[in-house]
Amino acid sequence: MTQRLYLFAAWCLLIFAGSVAASYYAWSPFSDEDRGGTATVRGPTHK
């Protein structure tokens, strides 16, 4: 294995640990909470 591969494997391990922690705490940076409410008029974006 090359040094670059070792570094990438370590990076994967870090990401996986983050993923497990996020799953345990049910955390997501893209949840729908606190998103903008009903104030705007909506409509198609088709052009």
Q: Which residues bind another protein (CB under 8 A)?
A: 1-5, 8-9, 11-13, 15-16, 18-20, 22-38, 41-46
d(CA 35, CA 28): 14
d(CA 5, CA 11): 10
Residue type, 38: T
